[in-house]
């Protein structure tokens, strides 16, 4: 095919000319890295085929030859967003006067509005923390609890949602009840029962991850929250493994509190988190961090619970850019793609290793964006180390070998993971 014909063909696919040199979009000398045109291109394309996802992948500046499949821990931001952080940082460094910085306050308001819309709630109900850990701590330390009260936690919760409760219980004398779910759940009902059977008249809070980072089990959040609400029990949902992956609508979930980080599946700048507090109970949570700017009349979640002195304003401002990136592709399309990557990976692994033990359920409705597995006789930590040192694949040794791909990976990248694990396992 001639270059002109190829260019026309790629343009029809929505890929544009940036890929013609074979360079990533951001390194192609013909492309303008700070161009927002890519958002229009992404928005216009509705095919969602492999060339589309290859184009998405080219928006990331991952080192040549490396593969990042560790979104459950940390996900790189697209170039478009790291460039925005740099731009906002330079802008701030040029003028740190109170007058100039006021436009960063306006940006924070815009970010809150955009995040709220993206998450299906009102901007009054959310605040920007530094990460999920901080948001979890704000809730754990902000509720009035004492002797005679019980808090139900999931044994698969992240430490910021488990050791926090246990430690506070020691200090304030309430009881923590830790529940397990079946390792190979057959249905959502089994998962719900693990929590509801632990409820007693003294239960005040049920606190659990929406999707577990150690098993990939996806809990039926709404069903558990509806049952808890009927009994007047608060629910704290840790959404570190969902925001940016699942099409979450906070007002529909019926939870009391929801927390998340923006540097995982949302692929946003480092050190931003989200705290949602249901409007009916905002008066019942005590703020536990206060700094200049806080006052008794503070009425939004951001003003009441998330005032913390000087913050990383350039990083927070760039949240607006990552939300635009997600919206240009589409929340549902991203969710579907992440499930597709995981299903493809699970099937390929199953075909390659007959003895493989999946920690993550096979069914989409019971699982999240991660695939965790064990190969009998093979140590997951060694596999994880060798995947990186010998194959430049960044995974995690969490609950087994954990692969957490997002839209910066393609189906052929999943083949690459399977091939590498095969070679390392001597299969
Ligand atoms: C379920 C869950 N909650 C909380 C966290 C902590 O996230 P962060 O370090 O962004 O606070 C993680 C991190 O992996 C997680 O998986």
Instruction: Answer yes or no: is 405 within a domain.
Output: yes
In this structure, the answer to whether residues 101 and 150 fall within a common structural domain is yes
Site to substitute for ligand 1 among 72, 75, 132, most atoms within 8 A of C-beta: 132
pTM for this structure?
A: 0.92
Backbone angles phi, psi at 208, to 5 degrees: -155, 160
In this structure, the answer to whether residues 230 and 315 fall within a common structural domain is yes
In this structure, the answer to whether residues 253 and 120 fall within a common structural domain is yes
In this structure, the answer to whether residues 31 and 111 fall within a common structural domain is no
In this structure, the answer to whether residues 33 and 110 fall within a common structural domain is no
Q: Atom of ligand 1 at shortest distance to CA of 132? A: 11
In this structure, the answer to whether residues 217 and 290 fall within a common structural domain is yes
Q: How far is the CA of 161 from the centre of ligand 1 (A)?
A: 9
In this structure, the answer to whether residues 315 and 298 fall within a common structural domain is yes
Instruction: Answer yes or no: is 221 within a domain.
Output: yes
| Three-state secondary structure call for residue 377 | coil
Examine the fold and report which residue of 273, 306, 325 is the final residue of a domain before the chain moves on: 325
Task: Give the pLDDT score at 140.
Answer: 98
Pocket of ligand 1 (CB under 6 A): 72-73, 131-133, 158, 160, 209, 213, 238, 240-241, 261
Instruction: Answer yes or no: is 303 within a domain.
Output: yes
In this structure, the answer to whether residues 70 and 96 fall within a common structural domain is no
Task: Give the pLDDT score at 36.
Answer: 66
In this structure, the answer to whether residues 138 and 184 fall within a common structural domain is yes
Q: Atom of ligand 1 at shortest distance to CA of 273? A: 10
Beta strand 371-374 pairing with 401-403: antiparallel
Name every residue whose Cβ is closer than 8 Å to that of residue 310 and which is 6 or more positions away in sequence: none
Task: Give the pLDDT score at 24.
Answer: 42
Instruction: Answer yes or no: is 195 within a domain.
Output: yes
Domain span including residue 267: 91-325
Q: How far apart are CA 84 and CA 382, in angstroms?
A: 37
Task: Give the pLDDT score at 10.
Answer: 38
Q: Atom of ligand 1 at shortest distance to CA of 264? A: 10
- 402: nearest Cα among 62, 72, 133, 66: 72
Instruction: Answer yes or no: is 375 within a domain.
Output: yes
- Which CATH number does the domain housing residue 40 bear? 3.90.1150.10
* Domain tally, the chain: 2
In this structure, the answer to whether residues 69 and 95 fall within a common structural domain is no
In this structure, the answer to whether residues 232 and 215 fall within a common structural domain is yes
Those residues of the chain that have pLDDT short of 50 are 1-34
Using one digit for the tens of pLDDT, what is the confidence trace for 33-57? 445 678 888 998 888 999 999 999 9
In this structure, the answer to whether residues 114 and 198 fall within a common structural domain is yes
């Amino acid at each position: 095919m001639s270059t002109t014909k190829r260019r026309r063909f790629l343009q029809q696919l929505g890929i544009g000319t940036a890929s013609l040199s074979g360079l990533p979009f951001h390194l192609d000398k013909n492309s303008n890295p700070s161009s927002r045109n890519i958002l229009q291109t992404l928005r216009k394309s509705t095919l969602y085929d492999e060339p589309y996802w290859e184009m998405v992948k080219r928006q990331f500046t991952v080192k040549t030859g490396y593969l990042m499949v560790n979104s459950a821990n940390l996900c790189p931001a697209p170039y478009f967003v790291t460039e925005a952080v740099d731009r906002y940082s330079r802008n701030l460094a040029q003028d740190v006067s109170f007058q100039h910085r006021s436009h960063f306050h306006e940006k924070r308001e815009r970010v809150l509005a955009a995040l709220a819309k993206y998450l299906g709630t009102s901007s009054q109900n959310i605040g920007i923390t530094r990460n999920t850990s901080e948001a979890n701590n704000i809730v754990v330390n902000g509720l009035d609890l004492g002797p005679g009260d019980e808090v139900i936690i999931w044994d698969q919760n992240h430490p910021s949602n488990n050791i926090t409760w246990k430690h506070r219980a020691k200090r304030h004398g309430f009881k923590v009840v830790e529940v397990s779910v079946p390792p190979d759940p057959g249905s959502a009902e089994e998962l719900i029962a693990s929590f509801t059977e632990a409820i007693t008249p003294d239960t005040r809070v049920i606190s659990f991850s929406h999707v577990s980072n150690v098993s990939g089990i996806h809990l039926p959040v709404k069903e558990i929250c509806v049952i808890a609400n009927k009994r007047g029990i608060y629910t704290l949902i840790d959404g570190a493994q969902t925001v940016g992956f699942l099409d979450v609508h906070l007002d529909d979930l019926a939870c009391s509190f929801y927390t998340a980080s923006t540097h995982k599946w949302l692929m946003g700048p480092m050190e931003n988190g989200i705290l949602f507090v249901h409007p009916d109970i905002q008066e019942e949570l005590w703020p536990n961090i206060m700094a200049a700017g806080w006052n008794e009349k503070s009425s939004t979640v951001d003003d009441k619970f998330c005032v913390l002195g000087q913050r990383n304003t350039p990083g927070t401002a760039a949240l607006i850019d990552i939300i635009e990136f997600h919206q240009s592709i589409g929340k549902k399309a991203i969710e579907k793609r992440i499930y597709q990557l995981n299903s493809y990976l699970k099937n390929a692994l199953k075909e390659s290793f007959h003895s493989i033990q999946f920690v993550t359920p096979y069914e989409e409705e019971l699982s999240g964006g991660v695939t965790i597995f064990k190969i009998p006789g093979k140590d997951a930590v060694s596999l994880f180390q060798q995947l990186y040192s010998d194959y430049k694949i960044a995974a995690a040794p969490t609950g087994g070998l954990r692969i957490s791909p997002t839209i910066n990976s393609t189906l052929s990248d999943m083949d690459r993971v399977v091939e590498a694990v095969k070679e390392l396992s001597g299969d």
